A = this chain, B = another copy of it.
């Protein structure tokens, strides 16, 4: 049995690319960029008026002038005008090109315009070149603004629009299927017999993947070796990832490892020193299909999805490892087994210190799906330690 560090290393060493696709801007949110975004022009592309008011030549103001005849109006979206008389002014609108022959903008609040004359108010404070945003000040033409590999948030998509990219080259997401096993399972719309329960893991995992941008199908396979082989064989051909839930323990009808090995899926490990999630099985058909065979308990399969599948997906997409949050345990906690313990916690920020606090919400074990509703994260308590003290800081896995 390996520990979580080894399991993590192995999972992250088995990464693959799923290719690249070109998508319209409005569909790119959350995707990983596969091209650089450069400034096609200076940012801003012209010296830009940043206040509504009048544009003057600073030299005139410096020489003591406080009243300026108005020559006209420079609207936003109009070609650049030119100040004819260096002692006059032009009215200018936010977003407009600063008129030629002017360098300073005085806002309307500081002037009184009457009969074609703009008179500065006595209290007006004017600084040279104020309210004029110089061409190229933010970024210069050709400069790199968003590097290939970035995750596209609203800000990056705004930048892409600005530089004239209606579509972007982004990393393709893997195709995925979530396979539930276990003859005790019935579908959500069915009435279970007294010895049956409804399938829920496949929904939980499907929704978790959806948040990471992976659309996954759902499939149920009965506890029968031939059916398991046949259906998994089809999945290997059809999908980039298979996530199984259940069928990996020591049970007589746990056919998953046997079927996977018969189908040529290379096993990289089976069982990890962790609770929940000990029976976790991981393997792949190199370059073709990656298989996460997770334990059937709802908390186990959910935790493994967050702790292993998500980092693997990020690595496949070329993203740096997830910045691990860290949180302060708010109560003493004991855990004796020689396993890494993923403690369910409810978090909040401390108002004084800005620290993230994690309060244990332990639940009744790995089958207690309902407890996940009351918590919002797993606190990762290291193996080889029994007592975890109030005030100690541990890595945290948010799942909301």
Q: What 0/1 pattern do residues 193 to 225 of A give for CB contact below 8 A with B? A: 111111111011111101100000000000100
Question: How far, in Å, is A314 (CB) from chain B's closest CB?
Answer: 14
A325: chain B residues within 8 A (beta carbon): 349, 354
Determine whether the beta carbon of A326 is less than 8 Å from that of B348. no
Q: What 0/1 pattern do residues 89 to 111 of A give for CB contact below 8 A with B? A: 00101111100000000011100
Determine whether the beta carbon of B76 is less than 8 Å from that of A223. yes
Determine whether the beta carbon of B94 is less than 8 Å from that of A251. yes
Determine whether the beta carbon of B77 is less than 8 Å from that of A185. yes
Instruction: Pick the interface stretch among A55-63, A160-168, A226-234.
Output: A160-168
Residues A327 and B348 in contact in the complex (CB < 8 Å), given A296-B94, A369-B162: no
4 closest Cβ pairs, A-B complex? A77-B183, A158-B204, A155-B372, A154-B207
Determine whether the beta carbon of B302 is less than 8 Å from that of A154. yes
Determine whether the beta carbon of A205 is less than 8 Å from that of B162. no
Determine whether the beta carbon of A203 is less than 8 Å from that of B393. no
Interface residue? A400 (CB, 8 A)? yes
Determine whether the beta carbon of B76 is less than 8 Å from that of A253. yes
8 Å CB contacts to B: which residues of A333-364? 348-356, 363-364
Interface residue? A46 (CB, 8 A)? yes
Determine whether the beta carbon of B194 is less than 8 Å from that of A400. no
Instruction: Pick the interface stretch among A132-140, A262-270, A380-388.
Output: A132-140
Interface residue? A145 (CB, 8 A)? yes
Residues A46 and B93 in contact in the complex (CB < 8 Å), given A159-B200, A373-B159: no
In Å, the complex CA distance between A398 and B298 comes to: 31
